[in-house]
Structures are given as C-alpha cells and as structure tokens.
Structure 1
Amino acid sequence: MTTPGTVAVRIGPNDVLRFVLELFALFSLGFWGYLAWPFPWPGVLFMVGAPLFAAVVWALFRSPKAVFPLDVVGRSLVEIFVMGAAVAVWFMIGYPVVGVIFGVVAAISGVIAGRAEIAAELTAQEAEPR
C-alpha cells in the first residue's frame, strides 16, 4: 500500500539480474587487481581502487539517482564501459569463457533495460502538458 504522494517502485526479474551483474562486475575488477598485480602495494591498490572507481563512476552517471543525470546514450556508454571492463578483465586473467558468458548476459540485460528506459521516457514526454 502506498501513501498519497508516493510512487510504487516495481522491481522485475531483469532489475535483480542487473544488480547481480553490477556486483559481479565490481567483484571481477577487484579479482583482477588481486591476481594481475604483485603484492603488497600495487595489488592492494588495484584490488580496492578498480572496483571503487567503477562504483563511483556508476553512482555519478548511471544510477537511478545519479548526481549528473545523462541521456539514454550517455547512460548506455557508462554501462558499456563498466561492463566491458569486467569482460576484458576475465580475458586478461585467462578465463575467456567467463568473460563471454558475462558479456552476453550483460548485453542482453542491458538491451532489455535500455528499451524499457526509452519507453518510460517517451511515455513521460507524452504525458507532459504542452
């Protein structure tokens, strides 16, 4: 039940999948930092810094409550860069099958979400009084 003045948020299966994909992308970047760089300092810095950088970029430009809201193309580019970096990480550390599977699932999920975002924006534009 919603109170007056609030909007009900609907979370679908693709939203849950996208959240899991985002977490896996952050894990992938941290795992790459752990494996690809010698310890202690370069490894620790990249293990913490790479996922932190990706999370900050996502929060600033891609999240639903982004500090710097972008249009559909900008949001898509940010998502492609973050998810693409995670795919590249799996290829770099020698697990191309994981990279391909992650990339395909992320691309399909991104297309589904992108189409829904575009449809929602068009609906909102049509509903605005002129």
Structure 2
Amino acid sequence: MDFKSLNLALAFLIELVMLWAFGLWGFHVGSGPLMKWGLGLGLPVLVAVFWGVFMSPRAVYPLPDGLYLVLQVMLFGGAAVALMLSGKMTLGIVYAVLVVLNLTLALLWKQ
C-alpha cells in the first residue's frame, strides 16, 4: 500500500471520527435524556446526510471547490472543537493535526 492510499484511508477515518465527535458532544451537552439522545444521534445523522448529498465523492449535488473546502474546514474544525468541549482535549488536538495533515496531502496529491 502506498502513501496516497493511506491518505485516502485516513480521510475516511477522519470522516467517521467527525460523526462520532458530534455524537459525543450531543450526548455530553444534552440537558435531559431526550435531548441527549436527540443531539447524540440526530446531529451525526444530519451531518452524514449533508456530507452524502453535497460533499461525498458521489454527491448528488457536488459543491464548487471553494465552498467545498470552506465547509470541509468548518465541519472538521467543528468536530475538533466538539471533542475538546466534550472533555477530550488531547484527542481534539490530535484530530485537528491529522485533519490538517490529511487535507494538505490531499491538496498536494490532488486527491
């Protein structure tokens, strides 16, 4: 396996962690059981649907490159912040570093 393939695998892992981070945050900040479950499950589902429709490689409505990059940074950055706000500071920082590395390599390798 070459480094470009590893970077694509890392991109997929980063996307999965993004969904998990939003779910963790939702369970963390919800004020009652219904709110915890609603945010903990609902937010990742909404993000996954948005990603699938607009940002996945097979998106139904692909976005222009500039808008895609802005939303990608917002979603991944939001996931890093969600981890930190959920008490996972070190994990949030490591995640943010991996996102920057992955996006930089993807840009350089035109992935």
| 1:86 aligns to 2:79 (yes or no) | yes
Q: Which moved more, 1:25-34 or 1:107-116?
A: 107-116
TM-score by length of structure 2 reads 0.87
| One-letter amino acid matched to 1:46 | L
CA drift at 1:115: 3.0
| One-letter amino acid matched to 2:60 | V
Larger radius of gyration: 1
What percentage of aligned pairs have identical amino acids?
26
CA drift at 1:24: 0.8
| 1:36 aligns to 2:29 (yes or no) | yes
Name the residue aligned to 1:19: 12
Equivalent residues in 2 for 1:100-115 (5 A)? 100-115=93-108
Structure 1: 5+ residue runs without aligned partners?
Answer: 1-10, 121-130
In structure 2, do the counterparts of structure 1 residues 115 and 61 end up closer, same or farther at CA, with 3 Å as the change threshold? farther
Cα distance in 2 for partners of 1:32, 1:112 equals 28
SS at match of 2:63: coil
- Find 2:46's aligned residue among 45, 53, 61: 53
Of Structure 1 and Structure 2, which has the larger fraction of its residues in helix?
A: 2
- Find 1:63's aligned residue among 30, 38, 56: 56
Is contact 1:36–1:43 with CA below 8 Å preserved after alignment?
Answer: yes
Cα distance in 2 for partners of 1:74, 1:116 equals 20
Aligned residues: 108
